[in-house]
Structures are given as structure tokens and as C-alpha cells.
């Protein structure tokens, strides 16, 4: 597989359907966001919806994800990518494709949030083979809750509990995260999350020694629905540099359509 194959796959998928839905950002969005920045919300793709995203990150990293909805309460997806995809030198592919499975247990009501159970094995940023983990661990098994309020558009409050299987550092703690997204007009949303990182023992970015878990990661982003099912997203990760590993800037392009 090469960067050319990834690019052609994305273009073919996005051109196969010219209409599509509005994206996942802004008050006119008709699709639930499935992630804050890295961590999952209670959002799913409903029956008949399919999606694709391409995530660009540091070290010429590219991650392609495919997602589909079934039965209005189940969505599933696959993802694969690597670093040094764009540029010279050998590509460093991820060890395995990522798997994402979600089941909506409770739909949102006026007085109660939506609740989704799931499993997501796709970590973020570079895969560190010597430590059997991604730089940012995958959520693994998770339970996420999401509730929206009418506040000058929409304000979403999200929270979750997760257990990552990337525990080669000896840290098998259950992790927690919280976040919010806020619409700004019909096409734009801002999003922020705090991943407590109690399951992450590594300081200084690339792990070079064991350390105490936490204090976590503060991530934020801006999402812009471009129409015809496309959403463009800019994220700024580890903003407060709590892990003393430096901040990262990433870009994601998302496309959702109905079959």
C-alpha cells in the first residue's frame, strides 16, 4: 500500500456520491460527531450511513478510516495508516488495522443523555512497535455519554470511561475523559476534551522511561462543514503540554453519505 493508493481511494469514495449529507459540524449538521478530538462520544452512524475520513498528523502520518451504520443502533469501522507516508524513505505502517464497534444502548431524551458502548483499537499518532502502543493510546473498551442543549445553537457535553488494551507499560488503569462541542453558526463547531491519562505512564512524548500516570492531555479543535457531506477539522493536541511531550497540530477530512 502507498500514499497514492490512499489518496485515490479517498477521491473515488468522495466522488461516488455528489449529494450526501451536511457534515458533522455546525447547527445545520445532520450527523452526530463520533469523536471529540481523540476520544469517542456517544455518536454513531445510523442505518444506511457510510463515512470515510483521512487524518493527517506528524511525521507525514496518514490514517484512513471507513465507517458504516446498521440497524440505527450499531456502527462499525476499520482504519489503517502509518507514518512517513508522504515524502522519502520507507513507510512505517501500523502493526494492525484499527477496529471500531459501537452499540447505542440509550437514545438521548430531554432529561437523559445518549449512552453508547463500544470498542476502538485505533490509537493516534505514531505506532511505537517497541512498546506495543501508539503515542496516544487507543480508547479500547469504552462507555460514552452525550447530551445536547439549545444554547445559541447547540452545546454538547460528553464524558466517558475507557480501558485500553495497550498496556505494555504495565499500566492497566481504567481511564476517564470529558469534553464539549459548541456550534458557531450553521457550519462551524469548536470542540475540546480532557483525557485524564491515568492509563498512560509515559512522559516526554516518545517513551524513554516509566513514570507515574497522568496528568493527561488537553486537546481542542475547529470543525467546518463544507457541504455535500464533507467536514474539515483542525486539531491542536496536548495544548497545555501537561505530559511535557510537546503540542501537535493535525488535520482531518471527513465525508459522510447515505446509501
Does 21 have pLDDT greater than 60?
no
Which range of 2-16, 124-138, 201-215 scores highest in mean pLDDT? It is 124-138
Q: What is the pLDDT of residue 245?
A: 67
- Percentage above 70 pLDDT, the chain: 85
What are the chain's domains?
3-258 (2.40.160.40)
Q: Taking the mean position of all CA atoms in its chain, how far away is CA 85?
A: 20
3 versus 40: the higher-pLDDT residue is 40
- pLDDT by residue (tens digit) across 189-203? 999 999 998 998 764
Ordered DSSP codes for 76-102: EEEEEEEES-SSSS--EE-SS-EEEEE
Does 243 have pLDDT greater than 70?
no
What's the predicted TM-score (pTM) here?
0.85
Tallying the residues shown for the chain, one arrives at 259
Q: Is the dihedral of CA 207, 99, 220, 84 positive or negative?
A: positive
CB atoms within 10 A of CB 125: 20
Confidence class for position 212, pLDDT limits 50, 70, 90: low
**Average pLDDT of every residue of the chain:** 86
Average pLDDT over residues 157-178: 92
Distance CA 174, CA 141 (A): 10
Average pLDDT over residues 12-26: 56
SS3 55: strand
- pLDDT by residue (tens digit) across 64-86? 999 999 988 999 999 999 999 98
- Percentage above 90 pLDDT, the chain: 61
Average pLDDT over residues 155-164: 97
Amino acid at each position: 500500500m502507498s500514499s497514492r493508493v490512499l489518496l485515490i481511494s479517498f477521491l473515488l469514495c468522495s466522488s461516488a456520491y455528489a449529494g450526501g449529507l451536511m457534515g458533522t459540524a455546525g447547527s445545520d449538521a445532520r450527523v452526530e460527531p463520533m469523536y471529540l478530538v481523540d476520544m469517542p462520544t456517544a455518536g454513531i452512524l445510523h442505518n444506511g450511513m457510510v463515512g470515510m475520513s483521512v487524518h493527517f498528523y506528524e511525521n507525514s502520518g496518514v490514517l484512513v478510516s471507513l465507517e458504516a451504520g446498521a440497524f440505527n443502533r450499531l456502527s462499525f469501522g476499520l482504519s489503517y495508516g502509518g507514518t512517513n507516508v508522504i515524502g522519502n524513505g520507507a513507510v512505517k505502517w501500523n502493526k494492525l488495522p484499527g477496529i471500531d464497534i459501537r452499540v447505542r444502548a440509550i437514545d438521548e431524551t430531554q432529561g437523559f443523555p445518549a449512552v453508547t458502548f463500544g470498542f476502538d483499537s485505533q490509537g493516534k499518532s505514531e505506532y511505537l512497535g517497541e512498546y506495543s502502543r501508539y503515542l496516544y493510546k487507543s480508547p479500547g473498551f469504552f462507555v460514552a455519554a452525550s447530551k445536547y442543549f439549545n444554547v445559541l445553537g447547540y452545546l454538547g457535553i460528553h464524558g466517558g470511561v475507557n480501558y485500553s488494551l495497550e498496556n505494555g507499560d504495565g499500566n492497566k488503569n481504567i481511564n476517564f475523559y470529558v469534553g464539549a462541542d459548541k456550534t458557531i453558526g450553521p457550519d462551524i463547531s469548536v470542540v475540546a476534551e480532557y483525557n485524564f491519562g491515568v492509563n498512560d505512564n509515559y512522559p516526554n512524548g516518545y517513551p524513554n522511561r516509566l513514570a507515574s500516570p497522568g496528568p493527561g492531555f488537553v486537546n481542542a479543535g475547529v470543525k467546518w462543514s463544507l457541504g455535500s457531506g464533507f467536514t474539515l477539522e483542525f486539531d491542536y493536541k496536548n495544548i497545555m503540554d501537561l505530559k511535557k511531550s510537546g503540542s501537535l497540530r493535525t488535520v482531518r477530512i471527513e465525508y459522510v453519505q447515505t446509501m
